[in-house]
Amino acid sequence: MSNSTRNSDSLSVRTTQILSDEAYTIFTIVDVVILSEIVSLFGMFTNSITIIVLVRQGFRKSINVSLAGLAVSDFLSLVSLVCLCVGNNPWLIQADVSFDPIGVFYLTTGWPNTIFARITGWITAYITLERCLCVAMPLKIKRVLTRNTSFLVLVLIYIGVIAGVCPIYFTTGLHWRYDSAKNRSIIGLNFIGANREDIKRVALAITNVFSPFTSFGLVIICTAILGFKLTEKSNWRNRIARKVKGQRKVKGSPEKTVSKEKIISKNDANANNERANSCNENGKAAEVVSPVSKDAKVIKLVVALSSIYIISSIPAVVHFVWMILDPQYTVVGLQSNVHISVAGITFLFQAANSSANLFTYIYMSSSFRMEFYKLRPFKKCSPHSADDNIK
């Protein structure tokens, strides 16, 4: 009777398991063990270079403080991700070790990775918001967003995200338990507390739904506003260029017409000077002359950055929403194969997003690019001229 019951239970598991063990093993080896591990190691290298360059530049500008906080978060997330990829290695899972690799690495490196991934999202949202406010309200925001403000915001982001994950460690720990497959005791997950499910549900809702949705939602909104403002400024410059061109054509025209055009041009130029000076971090006069194509490049670059971040966050959002909706979608549940496989996809997207920041900074910041090429290993790669001076 008991054998029949076990057989029916085994049949039920096989029919309800979405991903077979064979497919899970192949997918995990390719995605997690090979691709995610390589990209994560590369990302650790690129973020190390980013931190070095930012330190060499100094932190007189608030944007450098924010970028440094982002680089540190990316670096730590990739360190934990490298360890997490090791823990999800099917060969280690099948090996005769005295611990449960999935459960142990889930608690010791999985949640730290989630913490730094969320911190990365919030810092990205703050940087986008800062740039958006600088363009939208330059006269009011100059005195508010200083380097001290940025440092305080970064500290609050780190503390807030870590505090949101702490309840998980109050309900889950590591403990010796008996493994029937290995016929001995091993170290594995141990769930603590009678109300652990309620605490876990709230913590997951905050950390894996509210936090990522809110952060990249802010990125989308601020990028849209920034893009609109930059497009507006680009159109304004086009209008001024047409007026200047018209002035040259009508030099022999009556003085009244030319005078009117000059007044309009002068007023627009003064307005532009005020906006540029208000966004200058050092409080000095900034150069206003900038080709229209540069505004277009800035718009495209901001849209590209936000798109990369949003796309890289979508798999993680889907992953954690699924965790909340399906109790069996966990590292120890019925759908553990699917859970770990989807987590592997989020690893790869996360690693790619964090690894690309160095190249983004080199492209968008002439000062960063100049400092980067001063580093000894990259001196030979330095171009003879830097025409793309987008700061």
Residue 177's SS3 state is: strand
pLDDT at 251: 56
pLDDT at 106: 83
- The Cα 170–Cα 289 span in angstroms is 57
Structure tokens at 168: 């998980």
Q: Which residues contact 55 (CB under 8 A, 6 or more apart)?
A: 68
User: Hey, where are the domains in the chain?
Assistant: 19-228+308-381
- pTM here? 0.76
pLDDT at 249: 64
Question: Is domain 19-228+308-381 given the CATH code 1.10.3720.10 in the classification?
Answer: no
- The Cα 129–Cα 149 span in angstroms is 13
pLDDT at 300: 62
Q: Please name the residue that has the structure tokens 């399906």.
A: 326
Q: Express each pLDDT in 226-245 by its tens digit.
A: 778 777 777 777 778 777 77
- Mean pLDDT of the region 280-291: 42
Q: Express each pLDDT in 67-105 by its tens digit.
A: 899 999 999 999 999 998 888 788 888 888 888 887 888
Buried b (16+ CB within 10 A) or exposed e, 73-92: bbbbbbbbbbbbbebbbbee
- Mean pLDDT of the region 342-362: 88
Q: Count other Cβ atoms within 10 Å, centred on residue 217.
A: 12
